[in-house]
Amino acid sequence: MTDRRLSDDQTFNQSPPFVDVNLFTSDTALQEAVRREGAAQAYENLSAFGGLVGSAASLELGRLANEHPPQLESFDPRGDRIDHVEFHPAYHQLMAISTAQGLHCSTWEHLLAGTRPKPGALVARCAGSYMAAQMEAGHCCPITMTHAAIASLRHAPSIARDLVAKILSRSYDPGIAPIGEKSAITLGMGMTERQGGTDVRANTTRAEPIDGRGPGRAYAITGHKWFLSAPMSDAFLVLAQAEGGLSCFLLPRLTTDGALNGFRLQRLKDKLGNRSNASAEVEFDRAEGLLVGEEGRGIPTIIDMVTLTRLDCAVSSAGLMRQALARAIHHARHRSVFQRRLIDQPLMAQVLADMALDVEAATALAFRLARAFDGEGESEAPYRRLMTPVTKYWVCKTAPSLAYEAMECLGGNGYVEDGGFPRLYREVPVNAIWEGSGNVMCLDVLRVIEREPETLDKVLAEVETIASVEPRLKKAVIKIKELARGVRHDQGAARTFVELLALAGAAALLASYAPNAVSDAFLATRLQGSWRNTYGAGVAHADTNDILARATSHLV
């Protein structure tokens, strides 16, 4: 057999693989966000985790888990139904890495100890999630759902008592056994049905009491879910119609004696991206579920879980944006065109710097939001309530266009599967779709300012402190207030309103904490209220050298 290449030294001017990069110590904006938002104590732990998840070995696990997506096995060799999903070993290793870091549980450890939440715990955990998504995003779905489910399980202390210790375990247990026999468990969520995902009130799945009605009681659940991700989770929080209305249930996959709990996996979705993660269509045939919270209070009960997953969508998208930018910068630093490195070509520098501004903004917004959830203090409630949908909307919607531009920075190599960029590109849209799509986030914002108008004033007060010395921000605040008055009667302005609120929030954070080159270029280009078609347009006067030096520091 002849070697494809005639000699090794014929390969030159190709960028080396983007591996063995510490995803924490190479990311200045992330490190600053972690310190600023109250998790400085986690610095060493995050540095170690950043090295692990950015290592060539971990990134290879991500590749393998996506090259060999999960397979549904409906029957065993004898023809009995098993409804089993088989994952590649690499997926389990990814799960073990994120579980050992506590991404599924670290913020809840005080529940076992009976103490108050640790300050900064959620910010530290989100920094881990931001990096884990860059290693491989699909496995983050069950990690996120397990973490978020505890928020809803607090509505059912009797059920939570038996589960929390197993959820808090940091040793991943993929075994197929009843919950009582497992050392660690993961949780999923079933809301979306064929006829409606956003409109969960249209759910037709029914719940009938088995031995009496009320919190903690068993109900027989019959119906279906159109999307149920991580279907090998040990239990799911599902919505179903009980006599008292739409209610939330904890539905274990197996019964206590190890049989399938009336749980039939119909098929797995063939998805655009997120392929390491299984998303199933499922039917329930008198599956036994325990009522979480009160009958008829299903939405308020599960919304606590949904809200935390929305935060994770923003954090994960910010991480994926950083990964896309870092790969583009890496390539531009190692690739020469017309005797000059790409990064030194003024037009390329402009494109990269412009993308870096959005990565800075996404990171600042996501971690400011994470702080608002840390400890769940009352003073942060207005920020949590209003800025969760605003941040999810803007960060998750900005990520796909940024990933596209970053891919183009790699030229043809960006478009080819073995370089890894196509997987990143296919992954990014999902965060905007699930857990409340764009319009739904906008409508949520409108609901908040209608029902609790003071939240907008409270959030804007933070922006106005900076606006008092920054005329561009001042103008944006005036516009936001004007839009807020109109948008109550005209939904059509909702996206403009939400975008400007996100951009003003980000601009205020950057003006307070980022170097002048970053905040000045962001303020100059993002607050005009006009649609920018492409990256690199409009930043001709920005200090691209300083912006890029910051985005590049510690990248090899």
Please check whether residue 313 is in contact with residue 294, taking contact to mean a CB–CB distance below 8 angstroms. Answer: no
What number of residues does the chain have?
A: 556
In whole angstroms, give the CA distance from residue 169 to residue 171.
6
Contact residues for 19 (Cβ-Cβ < 8 A; gap 6+):
54, 55, 56, 59
Stretch near ligand FAD under the rule CB under 6 A, chosen from 42-50, 184-192, 307-315, 387-395: 184-192
Min CB(482)–ligand FAD separation in Å? 23
Nearer to ligand FAD by Cβ, of 223 and 419: the residue is 223
Min CB(275)–ligand FAD separation in Å? 10
Q: How far apart are the first and last CA of the chain?
A: 36
Contact residues for 468 (Cβ-Cβ < 8 A; gap 6+):
474
Stretch near ligand FAD under the rule CB under 6 A, chosen from 167-175, 378-386, 433-441, 523-531: 433-441
Structure-token match 């994120």, residue found: 98
Nearer to ligand FAD by Cβ, of 316 and 350: the residue is 316
In whole angstroms, give the CA distance from residue 362 to residue 356.
10
- Check residue 487 for interaction with ligand FAD (CB under 6 A): no
Q: Which of 174, 178, 196, 244 binds ligand FAD (CB under 6 A)?
A: 196
- Check residue 433 for interaction with ligand FAD (CB under 6 A): yes
- Check residue 198 for interaction with ligand FAD (CB under 6 A): yes
3-class state of residue 75 by DSSP: strand
Q: Which of 97, 189, 235, 349 binds ligand FAD (CB under 6 A)?
A: 189
Please check whether residue 402 is in contact with residue 294, taking contact to mean a CB–CB distance below 8 angstroms. Answer: no
- Check residue 128 for interaction with ligand FAD (CB under 6 A): no
DSSP state of 193: B
3-class state of residue 83 by DSSP: strand
Nearer to ligand FAD by Cβ, of 433 and 540: the residue is 433
In whole angstroms, give the CA distance from residue 239 to residue 302.
8
Q: Write the Ramachandran bin of 415: left for phi over 0, alpha for psi from -120 to 50, otherwise beta.
A: alpha
Nearer to ligand FAD by Cβ, of 121 and 189: the residue is 189
Min CB(515)–ligand FAD separation in Å? 36
Q: What φ, ψ does residue 554 adopt, rounded to 5°?
A: 70, 5
- Check residue 434 for interaction with ligand FAD (CB under 6 A): yes
Min CB(316)–ligand FAD separation in Å? 13
- Check residue 34 for interaction with ligand FAD (CB under 6 A): no
- Here the tokens at position 536 are 């690199």
Min CB(138)–ligand FAD separation in Å? 9
Q: Which of residues 226-265 bind ligand FAD (CB under 6 A)?
A: 227-229
Nearer to ligand FAD by Cβ, of 45 and 266: the residue is 266
Among 213, 227, 236, smallest CA distance to 287 is for: 236
- Check residue 438 for interaction with ligand FAD (CB under 6 A): yes
In whole angstroms, give the CA distance from residue 79 to residue 58.
37
Q: Which of 186, 192, 301, 316 binds ligand FAD (CB under 6 A)?
A: 192
Stretch near ligand FAD under the rule CB under 6 A, chosen from 242-250, 334-342, 437-445, 538-546: 437-445
- Here the tokens at position 470 are 């920054």
| Torsional sign, CA 167, 169, 170, 175 | negative
Please check whether residue 216 is in contact with residue 159, taking contact to mean a CB–CB distance below 8 angstroms. Answer: yes
- Check residue 69 for interaction with ligand FAD (CB under 6 A): no
Q: Spell out, one character per residue from 494 to 533, where the chain touches ligand FAD: x when CB under 6 A holds, - when not.
A: ----------------------------------------
Min CB(241)–ligand FAD separation in Å? 15
Stretch near ligand FAD under the rule CB under 6 A, chosen from 83-91, 190-198, 316-324, 406-414: 190-198
Contact residues for 503 (Cβ-Cβ < 8 A; gap 6+):
361, 394, 476, 526, 527
Beta strands in 446-517 (DSSP E): none
How do the residues of the chain divide into helix, strand and coil, expressed in percent and rounded to 5?
55, 15, 30
- Check residue 191 for interaction with ligand FAD (CB under 6 A): yes
Among 188, 203, 197, smallest CA distance to 253 is for: 188
Nearer to ligand FAD by Cβ, of 214 and 300: the residue is 300
Nearest residue to ligand FAD, by Cβ distance, number only: 197
- Here the tokens at position 377 are 């203090």
Beta bridge partners, 407, equal none
Q: Which of 279, 317, 391, 552 binds ligand FAD (CB under 6 A)?
A: 279
Nearer to ligand FAD by Cβ, of 128 and 438: the residue is 438
Render 113-167 in DSSP notation, one character per residue.
HTSPPPTTHHHHHHHHHHHHHHH-STTHHHHHHHHHHHHHHTT-HHHHHHHHHHH
Nearer to ligand FAD by Cβ, of 121 and 424: the residue is 424
- Check residue 271 for interaction with ligand FAD (CB under 6 A): yes
- Check residue 197 for interaction with ligand FAD (CB under 6 A): yes
Q: How far is CA 261 from CA 10, 81, 203, 214, in A?
A: 60, 12, 20, 21
Give the total of residues touching ligand FAD (CB under 6 A).
Answer: 24
- Check residue 268 for interaction with ligand FAD (CB under 6 A): no
Among 553, 528, 555, 502, smallest CA distance to 366 is for: 502
- Check residue 429 for interaction with ligand FAD (CB under 6 A): no
Min CB(273)–ligand FAD separation in Å? 8
Stretch near ligand FAD under the rule CB under 6 A, chosen from 192-200, 290-298, 466-474, 504-512: 192-200
Q: Which of 25, 41, 336, 439 binds ligand FAD (CB under 6 A)?
A: 439
Min CB(182)–ligand FAD separation in Å? 21
- Check residue 430 for interaction with ligand FAD (CB under 6 A): yes
Which burial class, exposed, middle or buried, applies to 553 when counting CB atoms under 10 A from its CB (0-12, 13-18, 19+)?
exposed
- Check residue 437 for interaction with ligand FAD (CB under 6 A): yes
Binding stretches for ligand FAD (CB under 6 A) = 188-192, 196-199, 227-229, 271, 274, 279, 430, 433-435, 437-440, 443
